[in-house]
Amino acid sequence: MTVGLVFDKVLVLLLIMIVGYIARKSKAINEVSNKVFTDLLIYVTIPVLILSSYQIELTPDRVKMAWQVFLFGFLVYVIMIVFAFLVSRKVNSDQKALFQFSLIFSNCAFMGFPVIGGIFGKEGIFLTSIFIVHFNVLLWTYGLMLFTGE
């Protein structure tokens, strides 16, 4: 993997975003069509991308790598939760939950899948989807708890 390949994939993503921005500003895309595109991406395109990535041969090496990614993902989120807790001790209590949430959770799935897929192909999507398990579980449990206090 070269820096040039990563740059190319991010540049393509940036160009797509610029086209979307121009289309929205010029009113070629309105709020309704914007919601349709967003729903299509979130509820159809990304799930199909993930499911298609599971159509790879499951070798012992891939299973081992999947477990390593799963455990690494768990470790990353444990570290980030502890880090966010420690760093946010001096933050105003009104903004503490938002501050911690912002430190712990990134936009790793929405933006990450296209870049990873472009660079590493199906195997990259497969492994990323395993890493994202922790993101999804913690976002809807710990992340929700940060804001509700429950």
Distances 8 to 12, 19, 61, 112 between C-alpha atoms, Å: 6, 17, 29, 14
Full-model pTM: 0.77
Is 119 in contact with 9 (CB distance < 8 Å)?
yes
The predicted-structure confidence for 16-49, as pLDDT tens digits, reads as follows: 889 989 998 998 988 898 899 888 988 898 889 8
What is residue 76's predicted lDDT score, i.e. its pLDDT? 94
Q: Which domain holds residue 98?
A: 3-148
Q: For the chain, how many structural domains are there in total?
A: 1
Rounded CA Rg of the chain: 18
DSSP 29: S
Listed residue (104, 46, 47) closest to 77, CA to CA:
104
The predicted-structure confidence for 104-135, as pLDDT tens digits, reads as follows: 998 777 777 888 888 888 999 999 999 999 98
Residue type, 96: K
The predicted-structure confidence for 51-109, as pLDDT tens digits, reads as follows: 888 898 889 999 999 999 999 999 999 999 999 999 998 888 888 999 999 999 987 77
